[in-house]
Structures are given as C-alpha cells and as structure tokens.
Amino acid sequence: MFRYYFKLGWLSIRNNPLLSALMVAAIAVGIGASMTTITVNYTMSNNPIPHKSDELYYVQLDNWDPNQDDDGAFEPPDQVTYTDAMVLMKARKAFRQVASNRSSLVLEPDNQDERPFMVDTRNTWADFFPMFEPPFLHGSGWDASADENLERVVVLSREINEQLFGGENSVGRSVRLNGMDFRVVGVLDEWLPIPKFYDVTNNPWSEPEEVYIPFNVAIENELPRSGNTNCWKPVDGNGFEAFKTSECVWIQFWAELRNADEEREYMQFLNAYVEQQKELGRFPRPLNNRLDDVMEWMEREEVVEEDAQVLMGLSLLFLGVCLLNTIGLLLAKFLRRTGDISVRRALGARKSDLFAQHMTEAGMIGLGGGLLGVALTLLGLKGIELLFGDMVDNLVSMDWVMVLTAIALAVVSALLAGLYPTWQACRIMPASQLKTQ
C-alpha cells in the first residue's frame, strides 16, 4: 500500500503546487537554520581519533601565579614550560610522549624563480607520528635517535610536497627552511583531524601544519615560535636561553597511556615531580596536575563554544515555529479534502488507511523540505565561512551523516507536524460530506 500512498501523495502535491511549495519552504528554512548550527556543533564535538582517544592524555602542570585566579577555579595553565617539557620527555615514563609547539618558518624552494614563502611548522618529537597517527603517503616519521642527534629531518604535508616536488616521492630530497637544509623522511597523505586536537591552544579549526621538524633542532637553532605563549613571571634576563628557563608556558605535552594503571602511575610521577619542584621554590600553587584524555581535554578547553550551543537551541526553536506554520498549512490542505476522505471511507478505507495515506504525504513534504533544507544548510555554512573566514574553515562542511540527519530531521518534523492535521482528517464523518459534494 505504501507505493499507493506515495502515488496519492505525489498527486496531491502536484495538484496543490503553491500550498505544497509553502510547506516545503517552511520546513526547509527551519531545517536550514537548525542544521547549520547543528553541523557546527557536531563538527566541534567530533572525536578526531576515536580508536585511541582514551589512550592519549593531555598533561597540565599547575605552575602558575598563586595570586591570579581569573575564573575562581585555580585552573592550571593549558601549556607547560620548556623546563618541565624537557624533564617529562627525558623521563620517558609514558608509553609514548610528545612535546610540541607551533612555529612559522621560511621555506626557500630550489627553483630560484620561486619566491620563499612561510610555512606553518610543528616542532615535535618522533613519538608524534605513532601517537597521533597521521597517514603517510611516502616514507615515515623520524626515529628517536634523530631527536637526540639533532638531525635535520622533515616530514612534509601532501600539499607542500605537491607544491615543491609535484607530488613525487620526495623522501631523501632536501628542503631549505630558515636557511638550513632538512632531509625529507616522510610525506603525509591528506590529514585533517577536526578539531585539531593535538593543539587546541591555537585555532582548533585550522588545518594541521605543513612541515614537521624535530623540536630539539628548533630549540638548538633558536627557530622562531608562533603559537601562544603565556608568562606569569617576568623573564629573568634576555635572549632565548633566558626564555627557555623562564616560567613561560608555550609547549603542549601529550602522553600515551594504554590503561588505567599506566594513567595512575603517570599521575603519581607528575605529582612527585611537582612536589620535588616545590622544594626548589617552583609551583607555588597547591598540587593540581591533570591528565585529560582527548575528549575530556576538548570539553575542558570548551572546543564546543557556549555561543554555538545557544545558537543551536535558538535555531531549533525556529524550526518549531516553522513546524507550527506547516501544521496550519497541512490542516488547511487536509481539511479541504473532506470529500475525498469521505468517499474513501464509504468505499472501505479504515481510519488507519487514511492515517497512513496522509502521513505518507506529510513525510514526502518533509523529504522535499529536507532536500531543500540541505541546500539551505550549505548556503548557511557558506555564509558563516564568509563571515568568519579561515577561523572556521573546517567547521563549515557537511558530511554524509549530517546530510542524512538533515533529511531525517525534516521527515520526522513533517510527520510530527502532520499528526494533528491527519488526526483531524481521519475524524471526518463521511455521511455528512457525501450528500453535500
């Protein structure tokens, strides 16, 4: 019977094009508005590395001003100092660990005709690659000995490799960064973790860096930094050496801990380290170290912004208003059809038959609204992109899950909107209508 109801629904929509178009438009506008904000929230709350997000822990050490408590919770800083990062790296107490920061270097192409350009760079350690699992197109990451021996090695993003080497396997080739030659050991494939979980202290919606070099090489050569740096004490002295020993935080630290025992032991290690540092006059605040897995860290950093959630609530209310309009329009449409309904009742249709027929039509209108709503959502996301630019580049795309969600939401909404009009239509007493037609 569903095909029959589908045919009847199509006939009804075709024979009332204006009314049908109004209903489709009402649902589409509601879906477009709500799905735009839902998509942004969905993308924001995405788990970027679902198979091991509960094994990767972000480390926070509460080395901050005891008199500064902006939010009343004595939150530890969201990065660590160079001093602490080096201690944690050398201790190697986790299964894997990585300290990293963002920088921006000048890349000089081999071709003299091409001008040097800036590349986003991540200064990191060998464990970065097995921990965060970026896919490789060619080669691999470097090994721990490269970190220790200050080897000038580099991993390129796919885009930079295409730009410099036309997409060829460039492993073994040389890349000149800030006047120094780096040997290519690996080329990444497309990699777009959303959000960019390994560094949310900078824009979590930006793309991963274009080149990756050993952290120690960057330090040794005093390469420039471009990420966030916060200090609660003035730097004691001038120059890079003074900065390295300062209490400024600018490094993100991650540890890979495979089970609860490893997590507990690592926390004990962190606490012991901080207690020891307290004796040396550092860490003036009470002990408050933290280990957050990926999703806990995203939540703590409020990657899903409150504004976005409020906006999503408002847009869902707007969808409700659109549905109220649809209810009115469906009611008008269905009740105009009392003759048809009465004849069908006289010919043997049960109320449930008529219910199914009208709900099918409501569902079809919802489907139309959903498809148009997807188009409006894409338009809305484009508008956000135009409004906020690069900051939201990776937030404003719709995957298949969201497309299907939009259509499903539209159909369900239309079915809900259709319940009351359909119920009213099914209540029509056929005898009162058949004589008066």
Partner 1 sequence: MLRFENISMVYRTDSVETHALREFSLEVEEGDFVAVTGPSGSGKTTFLNIAGLLERFTSGRYILDGKDVSALSDAETSRVRNEKIGFIFQSFNLIPDLNIFDNVDVPLRYRGFNAAERKRRIESTLETVGLTSRMTHLPAQLSGGQQQRVAIARALAGNPRFLLADEPTGNLDSKMAMSIMDLIKSINMAGTTIIMVTHDDTLASMARHNVHIRDGRVSDAESDFQLADVATA
- The values of phi and psi at residue 215, to 5°, are -55, -45
**Among residues 169 and 432, whose Cβ is nearest to partner 1?**
432
Report which DSSP code applies to 114. S
Smallest separation, CB 429 to partner 1 (Å)? 7
The closest of 422, 421, 432 to 353, measured between CA atoms, is: 422
Q: How far apart are CA 2 and CA 8, in angstroms?
A: 10
| For residue 284, cis peptide bond before it (omega within 30 degrees of 0) | no
Q: Specify the residue, 382 or 427, whose C-beta has the smaller distance to partner 1.
A: 427
Residue 416 or 434 with smaller CB distance to partner 1: 434
Q: Shortest distance, CB of residue 11 to partner 1, whole angstroms?
A: 5
| Minimum distance of partner 1 from residue 380's CB (angstroms) | 36
> Which residue from 117, 319, 101 is spatially nearest to 223, judged by alpha carbons?
101
Tokens of 258: 């495979």
Cβ distance to partner 1 smaller for residue 289 or 338: 338
Query: What own/partner pairs with CB < 8 Å and gap ≥ 24 does 261-265 have?
Result: 262/94, 262/95, 263/57, 263/291, 265/93
Compute the least distance from the CB of residue 381 to partner 1, in Å: 39
Three-state DSSP class for residue 170: coil
In the complex with partner 1, which residue's Cβ is closer, 231 or 434? 434
Q: How far is the CB of 343 from partner 1 (least distance, A)?
A: 5
Q: How distant, in Å, are the alpha carbons of 18, 161, 323 from that of 375?
A: 20, 35, 19
Give contact residues for partner 1 (rule: CB under 8 A): 1, 4, 11-12, 15, 339-340, 342-353, 429-431, 434-435, 437
- Residues linked to residue 176 through DSSP beta bridges, in sequence order: 108, 181
Residue closer to partner 1, measured from CB, 173 or 344 = 344
CB 87 within 8 A of CB 116: no
Tell me the closest approach of the beta carbon of residue 426 to partner 1, in angstroms.
Answer: 9
138 Cβ neighbours under 8 A, 6+ residues apart: 161, 169, 170, 171, 186, 187
Helix ranges (DSSP H) in 153-293: 158-165, 215-220, 239-244, 260-279
Cα gap 359→36, rounded to integer Å: 27
d(CA 32, CA 43): 16
Report in angstroms how near the CB of residue 349 gets to partner 1 at its nearest: 5
The partner residues of 6 in beta bridges, in order of sequence, read none
User: Of 387 and 429, which CB lies nearer to partner 1 in the complex structure?
Assistant: 429
Q: How far is CA 274 from CA 48, 254, 281, 285, 288, in A?
A: 31, 17, 10, 10, 9
Nearer to partner 1, 122 or 358 (CB): 358
* 282 versus 344: smaller Cβ distance to partner 1: 344
Which one, 267 or 332, has the nearer CB to partner 1? Answer: 332
CB of 432 to partner 1, least distance (A): 9
Name the minimum Å distance from CB 325 to partner 1: 25
CA distance 197 to 194: 7
- Measured from the CB of residue 20, what is the shortest distance to partner 1 in angstroms? 13
Q: How far apart are CA 57 and CA 191, in angstroms?
A: 21
